[in-house]
Structure 1
Amino acid sequence: MSLVTTIQPDGTPTWIDLRVPDLERALEFYGALFGWEYAPDSAKTGLGTVCLLRGRPVAAIAQASPATTDPGWTMYFATADCDGIAKRVADAGGSVLTAPADIGEHGRAALAEDPVGARFGLWEARAHVGCEVVNEPDSLVRNDLVTPDPEPARAFYTAVFDYTLDLNETLPDLDFTFLRRRDGHEIGGIFGFPVAPRSVWATTFEVADTDAVVRRAVAAGGTADAPEDTPYGRSATLTDPFGVEFSVITRPAQDRQPPPAAAYDR
């Protein structure tokens, strides 16, 4: 079990949310899939309806506005200075889609887009630190950028968050580089995939049984690719009733054990 009780270091994926055209349908689907419960009246906080695992926040789902054309999971990077990082985004060639703004007492947030068109968020935590459960079944385990144009993305994220890049020697035939914080901690990676239809930060959830989750997704009105074994575990790509893609993975038991005192084992 990985509990997060403190504000995460800059550049760490710290929160995710989803905007959909039918909130009640989405709550039914993800509740059936992951067993999430929902915080009463949380939609009034500005965060959206907060999804709970064992009573702790793991994500949020909100009703999309009529202007929303790109439903999907949005990942937020932790930052101690939302305004400052938003400026760095613009200076590095990205776009600030929604200017930094306070979300009540919970924190300060902005939405941005990198030079290859992938959307992400910034979260300056206050009362709300972000996902409080990670890296265990039914919670967030990983985010990776999938893009047909990886080089501008690598330059952008190293400029904005001071990441370092590290080759993935486990999969040498793939164009994949790890992103590491200044302390060396891996936070995700950039996958150059020439046939990708667009650039997107892909969201992956840990699950206890990939095959069982695939069956639940289909029964709840989603679709799923056939599960496959990878060097990192058994995974599958799912699509919810609104066309939003995400992945699930069952990792080997030894890989699910966080190091002592770890908060975010990315």
Structure 2
Amino acid sequence: MTEAAARRAPGTPCWVSLMVHDMAATQEFYGALFGWDFRPGPQQLGPYVRALLDGREVAGIGQLPPDRHLPVAWTPYLASDDVDATAETVRHCGGTVGVGPLDAGEAGRMAIGSDPAGAVFGVWQAAAHRGTAVTGVPGAVAWNELVTRETATVAKFYQAVFGYAEEAVVSADFDYLTLQLESRPVASVHGVGHSLPRDRGAHWETYFEVRDVDEAVERVADLGGHVVKPARDGSHGRVATVADPEGAHFALVASRTQ
């Protein structure tokens, strides 16, 4: 693949990463659930591994510093051509930058920020590491959704920072829109009002593709995780929300287009 072909448009979700307390147990859980293998590096922020699906990179898992009491959560990274400029725009538009910008070895340059509602996301300027090599197949990321109180204000933030267009779902009782790049939806924003979990607040949720949601939910429980929302049929396929043994929430989806 040429460099031009590999480049992702700014704002495209390009990676997901999870910071945990027990890396060995976490690798065992996701390896058994999704069939992932692991490769070390980069180590600039401490121990870190990249998860591989059939030899292709799909996600990262890192070690939380023992003195940091941070929530264990999957974090999406959005592509940028200039992470320093993006970080400045995040601050200017009412967000915060908690980590970086800093170099991750030869892999690229990164920052971790949060939007005005507090949802955490990463920004990735690719160098040697382009990001996720495969999406939408069983064991890989299928979709990223921002769960927040209401879409209008926060969507303006992401539009200003990443240049998204938005398309709302017209419904009297459903506050939902997609963020689009080049007329293609790349992520969604779901306003849930007072249903927003108090213990989590606004957050990005990662959807992983599976062949059979009900079977995967059973496996999550067998491996020491738990079910947050049981399997149900949605507009895009069958979906369930689960948590790993350290409490990181994520969604399992069997897409209708699979």
Q: Does 1:184 align with 2:183?
A: yes
Contact 1:43–1:62, Cα closer than 8 Å, also in 2: no
1:7 Cα deviation from its structure 2 partner: 2.4
After superposition, the C-alpha distances for 1:88-109 in whole angstroms (9 at most, x for unaligned) are: 1011010011121111110000
Equivalent residues in 2 for 1:28-43, closer than 5 Å: 28-39=28-39, 41-42=40-41
Out of 226, 232, 236, the residue aligned to residue 236 of structure 2 is 232
Q: Does 1:212 align with 2:215?
A: yes
Out of 239, 244, 264, the residue aligned to residue 248 of structure 2 is 244
RMSD: 1.5
Contact 2:42–2:105, Cα closer than 8 Å, also in 1: no
Q: Does 1:147 align with 2:148?
A: yes
Letter in 2 for 1:191: H
Where do 5+ consecutive residues of structure 1 fail to align?
257-266
Equivalent residues in 2 for 1:44-59, closer than 5 Å: 44=43, 48-59=48-59
Contact 2:42–2:107, Cα closer than 8 Å, also in 1: no
Alignment identity in percent?
Answer: 37
Instruction: Please give the alpha-carbon distance, in whole angstroms, between the structure 2 residues aligned to 1:231 and 1:144.
Output: 14
Aligned residue for 1:134, secondary structure, equals coil
Letter in 2 for 1:101: L
Higher RCO (Cα < 8 Å, 6 or more apart): 1
Aligned length: 247
Q: Does 1:165 align with 2:169?
A: no
Instruction: Please give the alpha-carbon distance, in whole angstroms, between the structure 1 residues aligned to 2:43 and 2:192.
Output: 39
After superposition, the C-alpha distances for 1:104-162 in whole angstroms (9 at most, x for unaligned) are: 11000000010000000000001100000111111001111101133221110111111
| TM-score normalised by L of structure 2 | 0.92
| TM-score normalised by L of structure 1 | 0.89
After superposition, the C-alpha distances for 1:153-199 in whole angstroms (9 at most, x for unaligned) are: 11101111111111125x66310011112x11211111100110210
Letter in 1 for 2:27: L
1:172–1:34 Cα change, 3 Å: farther
Matched with 1:104 is 105
Instruction: Please give the alpha-carbon distance, in whole angstroms, between the structure 2 residues aligned to 1:45 and 1:215.
Output: 36
Aligned residue for 2:6, secondary structure, equals coil
Letter in 1 for 2:249: E
Instruction: Please give the alpha-carbon distance, in whole angstroms, between the structure 2 residues aligned to 1:80 and 1:43.
Output: 20
Aligned residue for 2:138, secondary structure, equals coil
Where do 5+ consecutive residues of structure 2 fail to align?
none
1:141–1:172 Cα change, 3 Å: farther
Equivalent residues in 2 for 1:8-87, closer than 5 Å: 8-39=8-39, 41-42=40-41, 44=43, 48-66=48-66, 67-87=68-88
Letter in 1 for 2:52: L
Aligned residue for 1:130, secondary structure, equals coil
1:163–1:43 Cα change, 3 Å: closer
